């Protein structure tokens, strides 16, 4: 009874979260449940049939799926560490500069994030064009042979990764600058008096103190890169020969090109499990690391 009375007394607390909760349940929680359900069914000639785990088994046997896993891992392992290293390097270079210079570089590196991925993908499509693209022209200037970037098995995947890196730097840079700015100055002064060089100061002071930010960047970028889709959709459509097929692009093809909603749902569930595992790791680290 006391709980009921308490609920009644605090009823406005519930009223205020109701709109948010209605939307969350309808458009975020229900689709997860539906996704699991759909992944166990297959529609054949308009008839929905229970097929157990057959959708999953079909996926595992498919070459496109295996390549999608490989490529997605490749993207993650290439883009995430590179984006982290570049943005951290830039932050260290920018952080001692004056306010105006800091603002300038923050803007310069954040602008590609502001332009939408759709826009940048189209511009890069032009830059990579083997006949009239800027890249081959620049290579010719330094005496290198032209390449057919996006239709070449060897360069298509790294070619897309480069583009994604250009818009994965801006946000971490801003976060790192804020984190480095929060490190007390006297730590560095003490280290200088003790004879610590620039590298030692970075390794023993900056890096440990900005660790929560590093972790945040690492994990949000990982989850972001797992969902790579726009560049593939607009530039290579997963080709040549599955060379740029990714998990999310495969999901898109299954659902909206081939109309196989069961298999697409199974892929969605797998993606959910993978990403929740990453989120779980994120959680454990966050509860352990220092408040900031």
Partner 1 sequence: MARIALDRSVASPGGILRRLTWSRALLAVRYLLLLALALGFLIPLYWMFTGAFKTQGSSFAVPPEWFPKRPTLANFELLFTRHPTVRWFANSMVVAAGTVFLTLLFSSLAGYSFAKKRFPGQQALFWILLATMMMPRQVTLVPLFILMRQLELFNTYLALILPLVSWPFGVFLLRQFIQSLPTELFDAARIDGAGEVGLWWHIVMPLSRPALGSLAIFTFVASWNDFFWQVVVTRTDTMRTLPVGLTRVAEQEFGVNLGIVMAGAVLTSLPLFAMFFAFQNYFIKGITMGAVKG
Is 122 a binding residue for partner 1 by CB under 8 A? The answer is yes
Site for partner 1 in 198-217 (CB under 8 A): 213, 216
Is 236 a binding residue for partner 1 by CB under 8 A? The answer is no
Nearer to partner 1 among residue 19 and residue 145 (C-beta): 19
Q: Are 121 and 244 in contact (CB under 8 A)?
A: no
Is 6 a binding residue for partner 1 by CB under 8 A? The answer is yes
Is 277 a binding residue for partner 1 by CB under 8 A? The answer is no
Q: Candidates 51-59, 63-71, 150-158, 221-229: pick the segment binding partner 1 (CB under 8 A).
A: 221-229
Is 111 a binding residue for partner 1 by CB under 8 A? The answer is yes
What whole-number distance in Å separates Cα of residue 204 and Cα of residue 187? Answer: 10
Q: Which of 93, 144, 257, 277 binds partner 1 (CB under 8 A)?
A: 93
Q: Which of 124, 149, 225, 250 binds partner 1 (CB under 8 A)?
A: 124
- How long, in residues, is the chain? 292
Nearer to partner 1 among residue 77 and residue 257 (C-beta): 257
- Residues whose CB falls within 8 Å of the CB of residue 197, separated by 6 or more in sequence, listed in order: none
Exposure on the CB side of residue 102, measured as CA atoms within 13 A: 15
Count of residues engaged in binding partner 1, rule: CB under 8 A: 94
Nearer to partner 1 among residue 157 and residue 179 (C-beta): 179
Site for partner 1 in 9-28 (CB under 8 A): 10, 12-17, 19-21, 23-24, 26-28
Is 128 a binding residue for partner 1 by CB under 8 A? The answer is no
Site for partner 1 in 133-192 (CB under 8 A): 134, 137, 166, 169, 171, 174-175, 178, 192
Q: In this structure, is the dihedral angle defined by the CA atoms of residues 176, 177, 181 and 185, taken in order, positive or negative?
A: positive
Q: Which of 3, 46, 50, 100 binds partner 1 (CB under 8 A)?
A: 3
Q: Which of 77, 118, 144, 207 binds partner 1 (CB under 8 A)?
A: 118
DSSP 261-283: HHHHHHHHHHHHHHHHHHHHHHH
For residue 219, the minimal CB distance to partner 1 (Å) is 10
Is 239 a binding residue for partner 1 by CB under 8 A? The answer is no
Q: Which of 1, 46, 194, 288 binds partner 1 (CB under 8 A)?
A: 194
Q: Are 111 and 100 in contact (CB under 8 A)?
A: no
For residue 61, the minimal CB distance to partner 1 (Å) is 20
Alpha-helix residue ranges (DSSP H) falling in the chain: 2-9, 11-24, 30-38, 54-61, 63-94, 99-114, 117-127, 134-141, 156-166, 170-181, 185-193, 198-201, 207-209, 211-226, 230-231, 247-252, 261-288
Taking residue 176's Cβ as centre, other Cβ atoms within 10 Å add up to 24
What whole-number distance in Å separates Cα of residue 224 and Cα of residue 109? Answer: 18
What whole-number distance in Å separates Cα of residue 72 and Cα of residue 223? Answer: 11
Q: What is the largest CA-CA distance in the chain?
A: 83
Residue 112: is the preceding peptide bond cis (ω within 30°)?
A: no
Q: Which of 77, 85, 114, 190 binds partner 1 (CB under 8 A)?
A: 114
Site for partner 1 in 28-47 (CB under 8 A): 28-32, 34-35, 38
For residue 115, the minimal CB distance to partner 1 (Å) is 4
């Amino acid at each position: 009874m006391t709980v009921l009375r308490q609920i009644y007394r605090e009823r406005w607390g519930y009223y205020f979260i109701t709109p948010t909760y209605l939307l969350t349940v309808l458009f975020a929680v229900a689709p997860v449940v539906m996704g699991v359900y759909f992944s166990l069914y297959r529609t054949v000639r308009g008839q929905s049939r229970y097929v157990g785990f057959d959708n999953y088994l079909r996926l595992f046997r498919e070459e496109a799926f295996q390549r999608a896993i490989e490529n997605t891992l490749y993207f993650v392992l290439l883009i995430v560490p590179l984006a982290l290293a570049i943005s951290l390097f830039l932050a260290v270079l920018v952080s001692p500069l004056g306010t105006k210079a800091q603002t300038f570089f923050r803007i310069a590196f954040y602008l590609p994030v502001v332009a939408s991925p759709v826009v940048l993908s189209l511009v890069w499509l032009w830059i990579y064009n083997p006949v009239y693209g800027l890249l081959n022209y620049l290579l010719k200037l330094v005496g290198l042979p032209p390449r057919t970037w996006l239709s070449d098995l060897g360069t298509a995947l790294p070619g897309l990764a480069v583009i994604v890196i250009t818009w994965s730097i801006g946000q971490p840079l801003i976060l790192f600058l804020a984190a480095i700015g929060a490190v007390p100055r006297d730590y560095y002064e003490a280290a200088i008096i003790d004879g610590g060089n620039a590298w030692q100061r970075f390794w023993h002071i900056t890096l440990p103190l900005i660790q929560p930010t590093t972790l945040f960047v690492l994990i949000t970028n990982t989850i972001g890169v797992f969902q790579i889709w726009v560049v593939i959709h607009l530039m290579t459509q997963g080709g040549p020969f599955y060379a740029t097929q990714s998990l999310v692009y495969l999901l898109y093809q299954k659902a909206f090109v081939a109309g196989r909603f069961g298999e697409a749902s199974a892929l969605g569930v797998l993606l959910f499990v993978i990403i929740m595992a990453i989120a779980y790791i994120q959680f454990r680290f966050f509860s352990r690391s220092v408040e900031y």
